[in-house]
Amino acid sequence: MLNIPRLFLIFSTPFLLASLINFLTAERTAEAASTTWVFIAYGLAYSFALFFADFSLSLFIQHLFNLVNTYWIRVEEALMSAIFKKTMRLSPEAKQEFTTGEIVNLMSVDARRVAVLFIWIHFPLYIACVVFCTFFFAVFSNF
């Protein structure tokens, strides 16, 4: 759910920067030069919008990172607990089949591999592709 505002902020930053550059490089008429407070207000508005977009993006990314890591740790702990309980229920004949190192490997490395999947699966790639293509064509259609 947090990916959509994050994607919007990622792709809005170049638009805000382009607007600020266009505003600063545009030639001003004599009428516009007489109202310097309007000029300053527009410049400050573009600057604050750019700052707010980057600051909000930073907050979104940190919050999303925190959520993903929290779920990642929970999944890893649940898997390790399930593997440990399963090894405690093994019969003595089955315990001879696996060494202690293999059981520890199952509990730590393999549980971590499954849990790391949650880092990569949370990001809906199709939304990013659609938003990127939309902004890409919007930016380069002006050139």
Point out the least confidently predicted range of 15-24, 85-94, 129-138: 129-138
For residues 135 and 16, the answer to whether their CB atoms sit within 8 Å is: no
Claim: this prediction has a pTM higher than 0.85:
no
Query: Which amino acid type is present at position 105?
Result: N
| 7 closest CA partner among 47, 70, 68, 64 | 64
Q: How far apart are the first and last CA of the chain?
A: 33
| Alpha carbons 46 and 50: distance in angstroms, whole number | 6
C-alpha to C-alpha distance for 28 and 47, rounded to whole angstroms: 19
- % of the chain beyond a pLDDT of 70: 77
Residue type (1 letter), 57 = L
